[in-house]
Homo-oligomer: A and B are copies of this chain.
Amino acid sequence: MARKPGSRAEITGPKLRETALRLFARDGYAAVSMRQIAAEVGVQAGALYLYTADKQSLLFDAMSDHMEALLAAWRAEAPKGDARDRLEHFARFHIRFHAARADAVFIAYMELRNLTPENFARIGALRSCYEAELESILRAGQDEGTLTVPDTKLATMALIAMLTGVNTWFREGGRLSRDRVEDIYVDMVLNAAGARV
């Protein structure tokens, strides 16, 4: 008989992932124990191993879930228009997607060092896929003549760092609304990429 929706296993799996992400972001991967995660989820420590192989798997899953969701969301946007328009679309998308996932973004940067070499390579490959999406826009812009950057690879890294940086300082209810911040960043991104006005 199939499990009913809302069965214990279907609730515990997502709750475990959400809890691990939150605790890793708050205390750091190395400082969090499986026992502590189990207590927060509300199961016995031994029961965790029905859902995950080990703590490393929880970290890897958190990081790969984040990167896969990012890639899928971007591909679903499938922006039209010339490279300048698509670059603007990318900037707005990147800010919005990351603003809603502060813990995952923090972990993605901070806990790379705690991945096994194999898992590190797999996350690196996912990141490269996302970077390639932006780089292809910059390349198209060079070809069309709508964008001018001295090096598409470096411009990709520079623009992603600039846009992700919003997460380190933006707080809802501050001096500027989220929309206004987005507009200002779009302006700077287009300028940095030498967009013809």
Shortest beta-carbon distance from A182 to chain B in Å: 11
Interface residue tally for chain A (C-beta within 8 Å): 39
Q: A interface, by DSSP: helix, strand, loop or mixed?
A: helix
Stretch at the interface among A12-20, A42-50, A58-66, A186-194: A186-194
B192 in contact with A188 (CB, 8 Å): yes
A109 to B185, CA, bound (A): 21
Shortest beta-carbon distance from A178 to chain B in Å: 12
A157 at the interface (CB under 8 A from B): yes
A26 at the interface (CB under 8 A from B): yes
Tell me the A residues contacting B by CB distance below 8 Å: 26-31, 109-110, 113, 149-151, 153-155, 157-162, 164-166, 168-169, 175-176, 181, 183-185, 187-189, 191-194
A sample of 7 inter-chain contacts (CB < 8 A) reads A28-B28, A109-B168, A151-B184, A158-B188, A165-B165, A191-B193, A192-B192
- Can you list the 3 inter-chain pairs with the closest CB atoms, starting with the nearest? A161-B165, A30-B31, A192-B192
